[in-house]
Amino acid sequence: MKFFRVVLCILALSSNSAFAAKSPCKDDGLVYKHCHQQEPIYKHGLAKAKAQKKLLLVQFGFESCPWCQNLHRVFTRGELQKYVGKNFVFTEIDITSKSGKALFDKIKGKYDKPANKTGFPFLLVINPKTLKSDYQDTGVLEDNSHGKGHNVAKVQSALERLRKELAYKKTNEGQG
């Protein structure tokens, strides 16, 4: 009988969340990698953009945000996929994670033009060579006539404005 009580105590303690092993965080298949530290994701995108001589397009958002999901699809599968791929390195940061919030607070005022608007999704475009940046309030790009979404023409126009404003300047050979 004593053995039976010991086994019951062990089972009760092991089922308590304080004693149970944490289940691994899984974010495979998700847009926003909330299980990962966000700063390395950002730094990888910045280094890749610099190496490819492209601008870095950062989308801050979160998994349950329908506008964030819509803009992700516009950039990665929609009409703007080729345009974004040609001109930008695109990376997404989970703003709901502790490290994502810290990164957002760290970089939103770090670059050339501090960000005032913090609705989500939030777009930040950075020239990785000069560290000049600008941001785009995505609320003005929305088109919610068929659900929660964005007007593709407005999004492209905004990205084109940012691309021209922040583009790498080509120098003539032999000049600095």
User: Does the pTM exceed 0.85?
Assistant: no
Residue 28 inside a domain? The answer is no
Average pLDDT over residues 69-97: 90
Count: domains in the chain = 1
The CATH number assigned to the domain holding 111 equals 3.40.30.10
For 44, the domain range is 38-166
| Per-residue model confidence as pLDDT tens digits over 161-174 | 999 999 876 544 33
Residue 149 inside a domain? The answer is yes
Mean of pLDDT over the chain: 78
Within 10 angstroms of residue 56's Cβ, the number of other Cβ atoms is: 23
Backbone angles phi, psi at 169, to 5 degrees: -90, 125
Q: Which residue has the higher pLDDT, 68 or 33?
A: 68
